[in-house]
Amino acid sequence: MKIPSAFTFIALLLFFPFVIYARPKIALPNNYIMKSKDDHSEIFSADGKVAYQYGLELDAPSTGETRITLKDGSTKKLFNLVADHDFCENHKTTFTQRKGLS
């Protein structure tokens, strides 16, 4: 009686690691980390690669409008965002994408 139960126990121990590794890999979370530099900011994905970059485009003379260019990890330009009400007294700035701007 001990031999069949011991054989079953050993068989289960040998099969157990395959059950653990058979489950699908869990996808990385959709979290991003930002790192600011002097002229632009980099946005890293969960795997540590640069997912996006963005930088301010300053107009001279100042018109109260701020543009941000969003680029992908390979510095290919994706689109521009514009804030019309970006004066010094405003603490909240809302950026929008205008039609016709690329």
Residue 87's pLDDT is 58
The H or E element that residue 81 is part of is strand 77-83
The identity of residue 46, as a single letter, is A
In this predicted structure, the answer to whether residue 6 has a pLDDT above a threshold of 60 is yes
Is the separation of the CB atoms in 45 and 35 below 8 Å?
A: no
At residue 88, the pLDDT reads: 56
pLDDT digits (tens, 9 = 90+) for 14-28: 766 665 565 666 666
pTM of the predicted model, to two decimals? 0.51
Q: What separation in angstroms does the CA of 72 have from each of 7, 30, 36, 89, 95?
A: 57, 16, 16, 31, 18
The predicted pLDDT at position 40 comes to: 80
Q: What is the pLDDT of residue 33?
A: 85
Query: What digits encode the pLDDT tens for the residues 37-95?
Result: 877 888 888 888 888 888 877 765 666 777 888 888 888 888 888 877 655 555 667 77
